[in-house]
Copies of this chain bind each other. A is one copy, B any other.
Amino acid sequence: MTPSRGGAAGHGRVATLSDVAREAGVSLATASRAINGSTNRSVREDLRERVLAAAARLDYSPNANAQAMARGRTATLGLIVHDIADPFFSTIAAGVTEAADAAGLAVTLANTEHDPERELGFIQTLQNLRARSIILVGGRQDDDEGNRRLRDALAAYQERGGSAAMVGQPILGVSAVHVDNRGAAAELARALHGLGYRRFAVLGGPANHLTARERREGFCEALAELGSPVPDEAVVPCAFVRDGGYDGMKELLARGLDVEVVFAVNDVMALGAMTAARDAGLDLPRDLAFAGFDDITALRDVTPTLTTVAIDMVDIGRQATALALGEGGGEPQVVIASGDVVLRESTPGPR
C-alpha cells in the first residue's frame, strides 16, 4: 500500500515523469523513452524495467495535455451529432467510438440538439482542444449561408492541421459518407409498386433538409417514371423527428386523400405516423401500409414489422472515422453507403 502523498485536503499530488525518473535513478529523457517507445526503441532493458517499476510504484499517469503540448498533437477525436438520444445518431456513435478506440483516440461528444448554430460553436471548441479530427454527423440543410460558414470553419480547422469527415451530403469540402438516399428510396418505391401499390403518400420532412429531400425526390421520381406519380397534396412536409411523423400523419389524414401506403423519410417518423394512424382508428397494416428508412434497431420489435431501407449505421460510423483519420493529403473522398430495401409486414400488398 503506497503511503498517500501530499496533504489530506484537496488535490493529492500527481506523480510526474520527473518523479519517476528520480525514483528510477535515470534522467527525464530516459524515463520518457522507456515509457513511450515513441522514437527508436533505445533504452537498455534493465533501465527500462527500473523505470517501469518506478512508474508502477508511483502510480504514474502520463499527462495527456502535456504530451499534447510537446508532441504538437492530441489523441482526441471530436464527434458532433444532432441528437445523441436519437437511435440513428447513437448507433453511428457506437461505430465511431469503436473505430476511435481501435485507433487509440478518445472521443469528445458534442450534441447540438438540432441547432445548426451550435455545430459551429462545437467546431470552435474542438479546435481549441486541438482535436486531431472531427466527424460531423447529420443531414445538411439547404442553406447557402449556413453551409458556407460551416465550410469555412472546417477549412480553417483543417488548415491548422486537423482532419475532418462527415456523414451526410458531401458539400462541406471534407470527406463524407453519403447514404444513397435517392437511389435507395427509388428502389423502395419500385418495390412497393411491384407489390401492387398505386396510391402513395409521403411524409416528406422539412423542405430544406437535404436528406429528407433526397429520399422524397428519389421516391417520387421513381413512381412518376412508373406511371404512378404521387400527387403534390399527398406529400406532407414535417419535422425530421418522431413527432414530425406523428403530426404529419394527422395532417395527411385530415386531407382525406385515398392512400394505400405512406412512406416516411425516416423510421422514427414512420413509427410516429403509425401511432397517429392508430390513434385515428385505423387498423394496421390492413387499412394503411407504411414504410420508413434507416432500419433502426427498434424496428425488430414493432408490429407490424416495418418495411424500410436498411443502412448499416455502425459501419457508417466506422467508415466516417476511417475517412477522418486517413491521410488528409488528397482531395476529399466520398464513400457512398448503399441501402437495402427490406419488405416487412407493414406493406403486405394492397387488398
In the complex, chain B residues whose CB is within 8 Å of the CB of A61: 124, 127-128, 160
Of B62, B91, B108, B298, the contact of A298 (CB 8 Å cutoff): B298
A290 to chain B, nearest CB (A): 11
Chain A 81-111 residues near chain B, CB threshold 8 A:
83-87, 90-91, 93-94, 97-98, 101, 106-111
A303 touches B301 (CB 8 A): no
Interface residues as binary, A105-146 with B (CB distance below 8 Å gives 1, 0 otherwise):
011111101000000000011011110000000000000000
Q: Which residue of B lies closest to A124 (CB)?
A: B61
In the complex, chain B residues whose CB is within 8 Å of the CB of A74: 65
B301 touches A271 (CB 8 A): yes
In the complex, chain B residues whose CB is within 8 Å of the CB of A274: 301
The verdict on A248 contacting chain B, using a C-beta distance below 8 Å, is no
Q: Which residue of B lies closest to A299 (CB)?
A: B298
The verdict on A300 contacting chain B, using a C-beta distance below 8 Å, is yes
In the complex, chain B residues whose CB is within 8 Å of the CB of A242: 297, 300-301
A130 to chain B, nearest CB (A): 6
A111 touches B98 (CB 8 A): yes
In the complex, chain B residues whose CB is within 8 Å of the CB of A64: 128-130
Evaluate whether A303 and B300 lie within 8 angstroms (CB atoms) in the complex, with A11-B161, A12-B159, A65-B130 already known.
Answer: no
The verdict on A302 contacting chain B, using a C-beta distance below 8 Å, is yes
A333 to chain B, nearest CB (A): 19
A94 touches B65 (CB 8 A): no
Evaluate whether A97 and B79 lie within 8 angstroms (CB atoms) in the complex, with A59-B156, A302-B303 already known.
Answer: no
Residues of chain A at interface, number, CB under 8 A:
59
Chain A 150-183 residues near chain B, CB threshold 8 A:
156, 159-161
The verdict on A208 contacting chain B, using a C-beta distance below 8 Å, is no
Interface residues as binary, A1-24 with B (CB distance below 8 Å gives 1, 0 otherwise):
000100000111010000000000
The verdict on A254 contacting chain B, using a C-beta distance below 8 Å, is no
B65 touches A69 (CB 8 A): yes
- Listed A/B pairs (25) with beta-carbon separation below 8 Å: A4-B159, A11-B161, A12-B159, A61-B160, A62-B128, A64-B128, A64-B129, A65-B65, A65-B69, A65-B129, A69-B69, A84-B93, A85-B91, A85-B94, A85-B297, A86-B90, A90-B90, A93-B109, A97-B110, A107-B110, A108-B109, A242-B297, A275-B300, A302-B302, A302-B303
19 further interface pairs, Cβ-Cβ under 8 Å (given A14-B160, A66-B69, A106-B108): A4-B159, A61-B128, A63-B69, A64-B130, A69-B69, A76-B108, A84-B93, A86-B90, A87-B298, A90-B90, A97-B109, A106-B110, A107-B109, A107-B110, A108-B109, A242-B301, A272-B300, A275-B300, A275-B301
Q: Which residues of A contact B (CB under 8 A)?
A: 4, 10-12, 14, 59, 61-66, 68-69, 74, 76, 79, 83-87, 90-91, 93-94, 97-98, 101, 106-111, 113, 124-125, 127-130, 156, 159-161, 242, 271-272, 274-275, 278, 297-298, 300-303, 314
